[in-house]
Each structure stands twice: as structure tokens, then as C-alpha cells.
């Protein structure tokens, strides 16, 4: 697990450059946390990133209804930038959700075009639970590269007020996974330094929220697709 100082450096470089968390971690690690060398390499990476197409072929798409949200994992050899393919994709996803039950996952492998495939679909039902969604590297209104969702149950409290807390947890978990390429349990997440406030752990922030609002929550699950 990376230490507190490294997390601060990674988040600071990301804020200054807009580069991905994994790339910021790689740069800082290669530079042995040398500030000037880190910035020089980051500038080179920014220059290259404007000219080089990313090789990652996996994407995430979603459709939200009044009953729940459907999240699709996609694969595309040439990237999802063709307007015609996006139109076909949206129509195909609408067809799929007509026969897809909520709180369920299916392997699909449905071909949308010659180089675009819908690999799978997982759905989450809106109910007494709060869903905190976080979409990273969005390409348009319903396609991104990385996704996380935190499911929280709460009782006798305004659920709308818990959504920002659930989103914060989703971002924290996704950031940790992208940096470390490792899955951690919820108890482990509670002991991590928050990416929003490097003087507090995630557990500290949640406890402050509970004490301020005089409520009780139960963090059930965090799903990550990246």
C-alpha cells in the first residue's frame, strides 16, 4: 500500500496536470519523488497524450431508468467515437434492458458493429438503498472508461443527503484500485487517508457525517469496473 506522502504527491500532480492517477503514480515512482524531474516528465506526458490514442479497448456505458441503473461493459478495437456506432449502441442497450431484471448480472457478448461488442450488463435497483455513482474519464453523456458504485442502506434519514457521501466512497475506492491494482475490503477503505482531505481517514469523515446528522448507515458493497 502506498504511504500518505505519496498519495498527497499523486493527487497534487493529478490536479496540476489532469493526467490519470495511475500515470501520476508511475511518474512519481520513477522520479523518486524529485519535484522538478516529476514536473518535466509530466509535461512530456501531457504533450504526448494529445497526440497518442489510448490502447485500452474497454469502456463502460449505462442507462438510468426510474426503477434502477443498467451498467454495460463494452469492448471496441477502434474506440467509441463513431456517431453511427454510438446510435446503434444506444438502441441495442435499450433493447437489452427490456428483458433484463434488476439486481442481476448477465454475460452478453452481443456484437453491435464490426469492432464494438457489449460484453456484459449488471443492474442495480433503486430502493431503500442509496447508490453513489462515480464515472471517470467520460467520453460523452453515457460512456466512460472507469466506473464505481457504492451501495449504502440508511434508516429514518433523508437519502438525498447521503448520495454525496456514497459518491465520495466510490471515488476513493476507484482511485485506490487504479493506483494499486488491488482489491481492498470496506474495513480497509475506512483506514485509508482520504483523497479529499489528507489529514483525515475515510472513517474519520464518515463518523463526522454521522455525528453531524445524527443518523446511522450501513455500507453494503462497492462495485468497480475499470
Name the pLDDT band for 53 (thresholds 50, 70, 90): very low
The pLDDT of residue 9 is 75
The pLDDT of residue 52 is 30
Does the domain at 130-226 match CATH 3.30.479.20? Answer given as yes
The pLDDT of residue 81 is 65
Does this model's pTM top 0.85? My answer is no
The average confidence (pLDDT) of the chain is 80
CA angle (2 as vertex; 4, 180 as ends), nearest 5: 135
Q: Are 192 and 182 in contact (CB under 8 A)?
A: no
The pLDDT of residue 38 is 58
Query: Which of 23-27, 30-34, 64-68, 111-115 has the lowest average pLDDT?
Result: 30-34
pLDDT at 49 over 50: no
What are the residue ranges spanned by the domains of the chain? Answer: 4-49, 53-127, 130-226
Name the pLDDT band for 207 (thresholds 50, 70, 90): very high
The pLDDT of residue 204 is 94
8-state DSSP, 130: E
pLDDT at 47 over 90: no
Q: How many CB atoms lie within 10 A of CB 105?
A: 12
| Rounded Cα–Cα distance for residues 89 and 58 (Å) | 14
The pLDDT of residue 215 is 84
The pLDDT of residue 72 is 94
pLDDT at 35 over 90: no
Amino acid at each position: 500500500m502506498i504511504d500518505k506522502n505519496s498519495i498527497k504527491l499523486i493527487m497534487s500532480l493529478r490536479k496540476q496536470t489532469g493526467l490519470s492517477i495511475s500515470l501520476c503514480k508511475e511518474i512519481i515512482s520513477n522520479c523518486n519523488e524529485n519535484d522538478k524531474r516529476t514536473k518535466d516528465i509530466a509535461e512530456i506526458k501531457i504533450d504526448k497524450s494529445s497526440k497518442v490514442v489510448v490502447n485500452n479497448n474497454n469502456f463502460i456505458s449505462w442507462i438510468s431508468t426510474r426503477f434502477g441503473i443498467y451498467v454495460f461493459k463494452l469492448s471496441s478495437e477502434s474506440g467509441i467515437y463513431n456517431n453511427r456506432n454510438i446510435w446503434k449502441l444506444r438502441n441495442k442497450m435499450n433493447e437489452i434492458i427490456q428483458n433484463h431484471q434488476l439486481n442481476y448480472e448477465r454475460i452478453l457478448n452481443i456484437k453491435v458493429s464490426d469492432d464494438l461488442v457489449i460484453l456484459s450488463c449488471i443492474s442495480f435497483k433503486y430502493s431503500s438503498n442509496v447508490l453513489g455513482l462515480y464515472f471517470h474519464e467520460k467520453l460523452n453523456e453515457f460512456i466512460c472508461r472507469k466506473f464505481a458504485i457504492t451501495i449504502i442502506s440508511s434508516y429514518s434519514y433523508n437519502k438525498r443527503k447521503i448520495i454525496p457521501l456514497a459518491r465520495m466512497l466510490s471515488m476513493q475506492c476507484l482511485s485506490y484500485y487504479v493506483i494499486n491494482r488491488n482489491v481492498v475490503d470496506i474495513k480497509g477503505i475506512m483506514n485509508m487517508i482520504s483523497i479529499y482531505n489528507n489529514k483525515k481517514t475515510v472513517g474519520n469523515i464518515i463518523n463526522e457525517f454521522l455525528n453531524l446528522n445524527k443518523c446511522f448507515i450501513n455500507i453494503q458493497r462497492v462495485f468497480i469496473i475499470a
